[in-house]
């Protein structure tokens, strides 16, 4: 893939002070078109700008779109690194298949991410806990109101220097187990990273926020009995010494942080179970003192300790609303690998500069 690079002539000022999440964007973006019969073409890095679309563009009407999320980190040694971008490339194609969006060669996805981050590498923040959040996305652009897969698409990557996803930072969050709305069912789009899943989550999220909780924990869409995942994270429990997480069943996102946490925990000798977990099991484990820790995992959220879980009239306080030992160790190890402070024995990082 040949990428044409046009640099901005008016670079923006870099943000100062505490970085939030996803509010500031860098000087450049990657853009590539898809046209049926021609394939992906015109890969380019251009100054960050607004895009113009016809009001009839299909993405606005039927939601044919996908997105990804990954980060670039400025290492203690000054090197810029990506974390497992090949996994985002694979997940992109799994999402694309479900959404009838054309496949994107994995090596092109990774190269596009690397190249645009390389151009804007001065935007990778250096303060502790910060990174450059990378948001690749694809939208359907045919000007047509019929319900059918589009024949043209735009693949865009934007970059956002970011701090902690939750305003509380690494402090434990409160999570609302939703017993009314559901997010996804098997056979639906739950495993795909597409806007519709997030649109479906908003009503419950608003309800949870109004009650003082950070995010929603979804139950399965059929029986509303089994734990699925959180709004922007997968979920893990430490129950009686074992690490337990819902298995991938088609309705939850196969998180890259989830996969990394499973591998790290196994390498430490923990027994890791990927299986169905009912909400009753959690309540019982809590009552018998066996629910030792709970944490969410995600690119934006990293490792996020959960101190409080609400289900109907039950409020479970986990580990005294303190960061658990395993949560802290995982946070230190995974961010350590990402920031080049801990040896990357898994081969998960990739240098931005060739």
Taking the least distance from each CB to ligand PLP, the nearer of 259 and 328 is: 259
208 lines the binding site for ligand PLP (CB under 6 A): no
DSSP secondary structure of 135-179: EEEEEE--B--SSS--SEEEEEEEEEEE--SSTTTTS-EEEEE-S
Task: Check the CA dihedral 183-185-190-196 and report its sign.
Answer: negative
Taking the least distance from each CB to ligand COI, the nearer of 32 and 300 is: 300
Q: Are 217 and 176 in contact (CB under 8 A)?
A: yes
Among residues 297, 333, 335, 338, which is the contact residue for ligand PLP, using CB under 6 A? 297
- Name the binder of 258 from ligand COI, ligand PLP, none, CB < 5-8 A by kind: ligand PLP
Closest to 182 in 3D by CA, of 210, 232, 223, 214 = 223
Taking CB under 6 A as the rule, which mask of x and - marks residues 215-234 in contact with ligand COI?
-----------------x--
| Angle, alpha carbons 303-156-128 (nearest 5°) | 30
175 lines the binding site for ligand COI (CB under 6 A): no
In sequence order, which ranges of the chain are alpha helices (DSSP H)?
A: 59-62, 85-99, 106-119, 195-199, 202-210, 256-267, 279-287, 325-338
d(CA 33, CA 194): 19
74 lines the binding site for ligand PLP (CB under 6 A): no
Taking the least distance from each CB to ligand COI, the nearer of 136 and 246 is: 136
Tokens of 254: 């196969």
Q: Are 307 and 327 in contact (CB under 8 A)?
A: no
d(CA 141, CA 34): 9
Give the shortest CB-33-to-ligand PLP separation in angstroms.
26
Positions 19 through 58 that interact with ligand PLP (CB under 6 A): none
Supply φ then ψ for residue 328, to 5 degrees: -65, -40
Identify any residues that bridge with 32 across adjacent strands, giving them in sequence order: 155
Among residues 85, 136, 172, 298, which is the contact residue for ligand COI, using CB under 6 A? 298
Task: Check the CA dihedral 176-177-179-182 and report its sign.
Answer: positive
197 lines the binding site for ligand COI (CB under 6 A): no
Taking the least distance from each CB to ligand PLP, the nearer of 172 and 296 is: 296
Among residues 69, 85, 174, 305, which is the contact residue for ligand PLP, using CB under 6 A? 69
Q: What is the dihedral of CA 54, 55, 59, 63, to 10 degrees?
A: 180
- Name the binder of 253 from ligand COI, ligand PLP, none, CB < 5-8 A by kind: ligand PLP
Among residues 233, 244, 294, 352, which is the contact residue for ligand PLP, using CB under 6 A? 233
Q: Which stretch binds ligand COI (CB under 6 A): 12-20, 103-111, 293-301, 327-335?
A: 293-301
Residue 127's CB is within 10 A of a number of other CB atoms, namely 12
- Name the binder of 160 from ligand COI, ligand PLP, none, CB < 5-8 A by kind: none
298 lines the binding site for ligand PLP (CB under 6 A): yes
232 lines the binding site for ligand PLP (CB under 6 A): yes
Q: Are 140 and 189 in contact (CB under 8 A)?
A: no
Taking CB under 6 A as the rule, which mask of x and - marks residues 237-276 in contact with ligand PLP?
----------------x-xxxx------------------
184 lines the binding site for ligand COI (CB under 6 A): no
Contact footprint for ligand PLP (CB under 6 A): 69, 229, 232-234, 253, 255-258, 297-299
Contact footprint for ligand COI (CB under 6 A): 69, 232, 298-300
């Amino acid at each position: 893939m040949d990428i044409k690079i046009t640099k901005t002539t008016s670079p923006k000022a870099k943000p100062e002070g505490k970085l939030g999440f996803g509010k500031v964007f860098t000087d450049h973006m990657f853009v590539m078109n898809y046209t049926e019969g021609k394939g992906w073409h015109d890969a380019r890095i251009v100054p960050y700008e607004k895009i113009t679309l016809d009001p009839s563009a299909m993405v606005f009407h039927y939601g044919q779109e996908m997105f990804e999320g990954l980060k670039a980190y400025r290492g203690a040694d000054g090197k810029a690194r990506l974390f497992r971008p090949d996994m985002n490339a694979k997940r992109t194609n799994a999402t694309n298949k479900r959404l009838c969006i054309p496949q994107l060669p994995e090596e092109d996805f990774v190269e596009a991410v690397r190249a645009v981050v390389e151009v804007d590498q001065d935007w990778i923040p250096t303060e502790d806990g910060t990174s450059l959040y990378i948001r690749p996305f694809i939208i359907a652009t045919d000007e047509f109101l019929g319900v059918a897969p589009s024949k043209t698409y735009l693949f865009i990557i934007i970059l956002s220097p970011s701090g902690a996803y939750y305003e509380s930072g690494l402090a434990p969050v409160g999570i609302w187990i939703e017993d009314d709305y559901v997010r996804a069912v098997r056979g639906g789009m739950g495993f795909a990273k597409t806007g519709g899943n997030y649109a479906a989550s908003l009503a419950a999220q608003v309800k949870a926020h109004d009650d003082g909780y950070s995010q929603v924990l979804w139950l399965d869409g059929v029986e509303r009995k089994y734990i699925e995942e959180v709004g922007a994270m997968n979920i893990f429990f430490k129950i009686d010494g074992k690490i337990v997480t819902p298995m991938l069943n088609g309705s939850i996102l196969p998180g890259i942080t989830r996969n990394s946490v499973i591998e790290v925990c196994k390498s430490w000798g923990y027994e890791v179970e990927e299986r169905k977990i009912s909400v009753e099991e959690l309540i019982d484990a809590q009552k018998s003192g066996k629910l030792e820790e709970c944490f969410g995992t995600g690119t934006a959220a990293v490792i996020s300790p959960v101190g409080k879980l609400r289900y109907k009239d039950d409020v479970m306080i986990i580990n005294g609303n303190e960061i658990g030992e395993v949560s802290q160790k995982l946070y230190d190890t995974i961010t350590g690998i990402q920031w080049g402070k801990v040896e990357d024995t898994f081969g998960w990082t990739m240098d931005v500069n060739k």
